Amino acid sequence: MNLTSDNIAPAHPAVLEALAAANSGPARPYGHDEENARVEALLSDVFEKPVAAFLVTTGTAANALSLAQMTPPWGAVIGHEEAHVMHDECGAPEFFTNGAKIVGAPGLDGKLTTETFGGLLGRDFWTPPTHVTPAALTLSQATEAGTVYRPAEIGALSEIARGRRIRVHMDGARFANAVASTHASPADLTWRSGVEALSFGFTKNGAMAAEAIVLFAEDLIQNLAERRKRGGHTWSKGRFIAAQIAALLEGGLWLDLARSANARAAELALGLEARGLRTAFPVEANEVFVWLPAALHEALKARGAGYYVWTSESIAPERAGGDGEVIARMIASFATTGAEVQTALTEIDAALAVAAPRKRAPRPLGAPLF
Ligand SMILES: *Cc1c(COP(=O)(O)O)cnc(C)c1O
C-alpha cells in the first residue's frame, strides 16, 4: 500500500508518447514553437475564451510567478492559513513578489469563506504606509484538505476581492480533480467566478513536469515573459513542456484521469467508513484524510503502509478525532487502480486484526460445550 501522494505516480503513457513525437527535428525555442501555440488553443477551448498561457515545470513556480504579477512588494497575498503557498513553497511567493507578505485566514475544511476572508479584511491593520495593502487573494482548488470550492463560493469571495481592488488567483495543482468533482465547467470555476489567473497543474495528473499559468485578465500578461525568464523558468526547449500538456488536454484525457483518481478515493473512503473509521474532511476529490486510532496507525506502519500523517486546525468540530488518534492522508492518483484500493483495505483489515482484535462473545456459564 502506497498512497502517500499523487506525485508518486508515473507519467501517463500518452505524455511519454507525446514527448517522443515532439522529439523530431528542430523547433523554435523559448515557447515560440507550434506545440505551445497548440496548448494555448486547447486551453482557450477548455475555458471557452481566448487565454494566454505561460508554461513552467513546477506548481511552486506557477504560483509564485502568478502572484508576483498581482502584488507590489508592499502588498499582501491572502490565502487559507494551511495553503501550499503558505507552508510548502519555501518562501517562493515572497521571493518572487520581492517580499510581499503572505497572510493566512482560517476556514473549516481548508476553505476560506466570505466571513473569514471578509473578517480579515475588516481588521484595522491595513492602513498604508504603516501596513501592507491587500493585493491578491489565492484560492486552492482542490484545497489542501481535499475539498472543493463551488462556483458560487468562488464568486462570492471574488466579489469581496473586487470591491477592494484585490486580484484573484487560483492554485489549481489539483484543478482537474475539482472540475471532475463539481461537474462545473472550467470557465464557471475560474473567470466566470472572478478568477483572473490560474496555476493549472498537470504534473499530479499524469504529466512528467508541466504546469500552465493561465491568464484570464489581459493586463496580467504584461512582463510575465520577463519575470519567468528572470526567475529561471523559461525553457529553451519549451516544446517538451507544451507536448505534455497538449497530450493531456487532447480529447479530454485530463478529465478522464481526474475522474478515475476521484473515483478511487471515493472507493477508499467507503471502505474505510465500512470499517468504522471516520474522515476528518469531506472526501470531494482524490484525497482521503482518515482518523486512525494509535494502535492501528502503529500496526499499519509496522506493515510498511505508505501514507502521510497530517495535522490541521481546519477540522469541523463534528469530525474531530478521538484521544491518541492521528490523521492519515491517503491520495489516489490517475494511476491508482481499484485493485490497489482493495490491497490498501486488506492491509487495514490485517492491521485491525492486530490492533483491535475482535472480541469473541464469551461462552455463557453453564452452556453446553457442543
Ligand atoms: C503539489 C502542489 C503544488 C505544486 O507543488 P510543486 O512541488 O512545486 O510542483 C501547488 N499547490 C498545491 C496545493 C499542491 O498540492
Regarding whether 343 and 263 lie in a shared domain, the answer is: yes
The tens digit of pLDDT for each residue in 244-302 reads 999 999 999 999 999 999 999 999 999 999 999 999 999 999 999 999 999 999 999 99
Regarding whether 82 and 174 lie in a shared domain, the answer is: yes
Ligand 1 pocket test, candidate residues 7, 81, 84, most atoms within 8 A of CB = 84
Q: Running DSSP on this structure, what letter comes out for residue 279?
A: B
CB 179 within 8 A of CB 258: yes
Domain count, the chain: 2
Judge whether 4 lies within some domain. Answer: no
Regarding whether 40 and 156 lie in a shared domain, the answer is: yes
Nearest atom (ligand 1) to Cα of 85: 11
Nearest atom (ligand 1) to Cα of 7: 1
Query: Looking at 253, 276, 302, which one is the last position of a domain?
Result: 253
| Containing structural domain, residue 298 | 258-355
Closest CA to 301 of 266, 267, 350, 335: 350
Q: What is the number of helices (H) and of strands (E) in the chain? A: 14, 10
From first to last of the 370 residues of the chain, give the pLDDT tens digit.
999 999 999 999 999 999 999 999 888 888 888 889 999 999 999 999 999 999 999 999 999 999 999 999 999 999 999 999 999 999 999 999 999 999 999 999 999 999 999 999 999 889 999 999 999 999 999 999 999 999 999 999 999 999 999 999 999 999 999 999 999 999 999 999 999 999 999 999 999 999 999 999 999 999 999 999 999 999 999 999 999 999 999 999 999 999 999 999 999 999 999 999 999 999 999 999 999 999 999 999 999 999 999 999 999 999 999 999 999 999 999 999 999 999 999 999 999 999 877 655 555 565 555 4
Regarding whether 125 and 73 lie in a shared domain, the answer is: yes
Cα-to-centroid distance, 146 and ligand 1 (Å): 13
Ligand 1 binding pocket (C-beta < 6 A) is 58-60, 63, 84, 140, 144, 171, 173, 203-204
pTM of the model: 0.95
Q: Give the CATH number for residue 305.
A: 3.90.1150.10
Task: Spell out the alpha helix ranges (H) of the chain.
Answer: 13-22, 34-46, 59-68, 84-87, 92-96, 114-122, 151-163, 175-182, 186-189, 224-230, 239-249, 253-274, 294-302, 338-355
From CA 148, how far away is CA 182, in angstroms rounded? 8
Instruction: Take atom 3 of ligand 1 and give the residue whose Cα is closest.
Output: 59
Cα-to-centroid distance, 171 and ligand 1 (Å): 8
From CA 7, how far away is CA 185, in angstroms rounded? 25
Ligand 1 pocket test, candidate residues 144, 171, 314, most atoms within 8 A of CB = 171
Query: Looking at 225, 253, 281, which one is the last position of a domain?
Result: 253
Regarding whether 199 and 87 lie in a shared domain, the answer is: yes
Q: Which residues of 17-39 are buried (b: 16+ CB within 10 A; e: fewer)?
A: ebbeebeeeebeeebebebbebb
DSSP 294-340: HHHHHHHHHTT-B-EEE--S---GGG---TT-EEEEEE--TT--HHH
CB 77 within 8 A of CB 67: yes
Q: What are the grid coordinates assigned to 151, written together? A: 462556483
The tens digit of pLDDT for each residue in 324-335 reads 999 999 999 999
Residue 132 sits at φ, ψ, to 5 deg, of -75, 160
From CA 97, how far away is CA 216, in angstroms rounded? 20
CB 241 within 8 A of CB 248: no
Cα-to-centroid distance, 59 and ligand 1 (Å): 5
Cα-to-centroid distance, 109 and ligand 1 (Å): 18
Parallel, antiparallel, or unpaired: how do β-strands 133-140 and 75-80 relate? parallel
Regarding whether 267 and 153 lie in a shared domain, the answer is: no
Closest CA to 355 of 308, 304, 299: 299
